[in-house]
Amino acid sequence: MKVLAAVKRVIDYNVKIRVKPDHSDVDLTNVKMAMNPFCEIAVEEAVRLKERGVATEVVAVTVGPKAAQEQLRTALALGADRAIHVETDERIESLGAAKALAKLVEEEQPGLVILGKQAIDTDNNQTGQMLAALTGLPQGTFASEVVVEGGKLKVTREIDGGLQTIELSLPAIVTTDLRLNEPRYAKLPDIMKAKKKPMDVKTPADLGVEVASKVKLLKVEPPAERQGGVKVGSVDELVDKLKNEAKVIS
Amino acid sequence: MSILVLAEHHDGALAGATAHVVAAAQQIGGDIDVLVAGENVAAIAESAAKLDGVSKVRVADNAAYAHLLAEPTAALIAELAGDYSHVLAVASTTGKNVLPRVAALKDVAQISEIIAVESADTFKRPIYAGNAIATVQSEDAPKVITVRTTGFDAVAEGGSAAIEAVDLSFTKGADNAQSTFIKEELAQSDRPELGAAKVVISGGRGMGNGENFKLLDGIADKLGAAIGASRAAVDAGFVPNDMQVGQTGKIVAPDLYIAVGISGAIQHLAGMKDSKVIVAINKDEEAPIFQVADYGLVADLFEAIPELEQQL
């Protein structure tokens, strides 16, 4: 079966972000960008399914600005066979992305779509679930294990109290949690080869979808700074401070 | 305006988190109905009816909603959502799983993990692992929202709302051929729940191994604390992943958070930096955790922890 893996271009997770002085948004100028970590896990899982003979083809997809082709090339270097870029400069949130992806699902008819559980910029954790709703397919969110057997998909999910295992009919939508796998690194020869793999560029208009976010972003502020604390010299002093100054223990 | 709140429940009991979402609903204003969906949920509905500010409890008691699988549960909420201006749920793994599916079925955006209500259509939510706070305005109807419980104080229990069954004639009952529940493996613990504990003590990579996490037990017992962990400790296999505090784990805001052997990566701070008092015990005095800690102790945890336990 064909597997679609969705990726997103985001600020690298190690970067300490800055809010723009006019509080309109986060400052993205000259900031290191990368593939969202959860998307790396999604691509890795798709490639492993291919290596196990479950998937026949892996298609990497993204919705975003022209520069997001870098992340698609990364996915190709990691083992995806081809890529589809839905190019737009609009500010996109989950619903718009899900609508574009739903059209690609209609066109490509994959047996499985794998996305990350959340993007580390918007922290929404919505797109996979919305895609499942729009395509009418079942969803296996926050997956830490995915097994295809007997035409069904067994998904182990990370839930608040532990783990839950569900079985889904195929085709299905899966979103990845951190512990699904350990993504590999792209090797130089693979990065070179990825340059020759096919990349299809479309616009939201080609797909007949509206992707711009309808939710207005009024303001972005830095969070309240915590007051710098003190270093204590001993456990005695620590216990004394907690009892008598902070009064959090008795 | 009227608001539908999805009740959070585990093991046949209403989860405390629900009372925080009702508090957020009160700030929005309007009638508040609580939806209790599941199988054999009469007792949960009784508890929900006691929450202050609730007008009505609507009960969808059917085998189809056992374990609140996303497909049937989202279809149910989408069916009811037309009567409401807002649909709210806890930003728990249940709320995060079901609500975006509801939003897309209604063709509206979702606003995730609000921490403040500015007005009935404007909300604050953290982005970039809590390193920026976005104020967003939505004209959608209904507005579909998940609530970060640490942003709102729970409502008290003094109410006595009416309880009524939801007419499920729109569904063919357990007509859910797409997903099947197989099993659950829940961590057994006598300690308070991480998200609701007044005191949390967490261990990181510095604990060295899973065995050493037992060092935290004594302090947790004395303080009635929940035990958490950093992603590094979970990834290293020291403890199960439901103990993870951080951007992609649980968000906690206890009165006292004790971070032991945790360096304080951006992603971990996202999960605990709203705690009232933060204590860091780490042998590396350059560790970023000391920048947010109210009280920092530069020491070897293997000496400091037993000593601390003794002194409490």
The whole-angstrom distance between A42's CA and the closest CA on chain B is: 16
| CB pair distance less than 8 Å for A138 and B278 | no
- Per-residue model confidence as pLDDT tens for chain B (312 residues): 899 999 999 989 999 999 999 999 999 999 999 999 999 999 999 999 999 999 999 999 999 999 999 999 999 999 999 999 999 999 999 999 999 999 999 999 999 999 999 999 999 999 999 999 999 999 999 999 999 999 999 999 999 999 999 999 887 655 678 999 999 999 888 899 898 899 999 999 999 999 999 999 999 999 999 999 999 999 999 999 999 999 989 999 999 999 999 999 999 999 999 999 999 999 999 999 999 999 999 999 999 999 999 999
| Low-confidence stretches of chain A (pLDDT beneath 70) | none
| CB pair distance less than 8 Å for A234 and B92 | no
Q: What is the DSSP string of A175-217?
A: EE-GGG--PPPPPHHHHHHHTTS-EEEE-HHHHT---B--SEE
- Residue B214 neighbours by CB under 8 Å, 6+ apart: none
CB of A217 within 8 Å of a chain B CB? The answer is yes
Q: Report d(CA A214, CA A210) in Å as an integer.
A: 10
- Strand A216-221 with B31-38, pairing: unpaired
Q: In B128-254, at which residue ranges do the beta strands (DSSP E only) sit?
A: 132-137, 143-147, 162-165, 179-186, 199-203, 226-229
Q: Report d(CA A142, CA A42) in Å as an integer.
A: 11
Q: Report d(CA B249, CA B271) in Å as an integer.
A: 7
Residue B102's identity, in one-letter code, is V
Q: In chain B, at which residue ranges do the beta strands (DSSP E only) sit?
A: 2-6, 9-10, 13-14, 31-38, 56-61, 86-90, 110-114, 116-119, 122-127, 132-137, 143-147, 162-165, 179-186, 199-203, 226-229, 256-260, 277-282, 295-298
Q: How many CB atoms lie within 10 A of CB B221?
A: 13
- Tell me what pLDDT residue B188 has: 82
Residues of B in contact with A172 (CB under 8 A): 178
CB of B77 within 8 Å of a chain A CB? The answer is no
Residues of A in contact with B148 (CB under 8 A): none
What does the block give as tokens for B170? Answer: 């729109």
Q: Shortest CB distance from A215 goes to which of B109, B293, B312?
A: B109
CB of B178 within 8 Å of a chain A CB? The answer is yes
CB of A145 within 8 Å of a chain B CB? The answer is no
Q: How many CB atoms lie within 10 A of CB B207?
A: 27
Closest CA to B228 of A124, A160, A158: A160
Eight-class DSSP state of A152: E
Q: How many CB atoms lie within 10 A of CB A13?
A: 17
- Tell me what pLDDT residue B169 has: 87
- Tell me what pLDDT residue A12 has: 96
Which residues 30-69 on chain B approach chain A with CB closer than 8 angstroms?
Answer: 67, 69
Mutation for testing the B interface, residue in A22, A103, A159 having most B CBs under 10 Å:
A159
- In DSSP terms, B111 is beta-bridged to B145
- Strand A82-87 with A112-116, pairing: unpaired
- Tell me what pLDDT residue B196 has: 87
CB of A170 within 8 Å of a chain B CB? The answer is no
- Strand B132-137 with A216-221, pairing: antiparallel
The whole-angstrom distance between A49's CA and the closest CA on chain B is: 21
- Residue B5 neighbours by CB under 8 Å, 6+ apart: B18, B21, B22, B25, B32, B33, B34, B35, B54, B88, B89
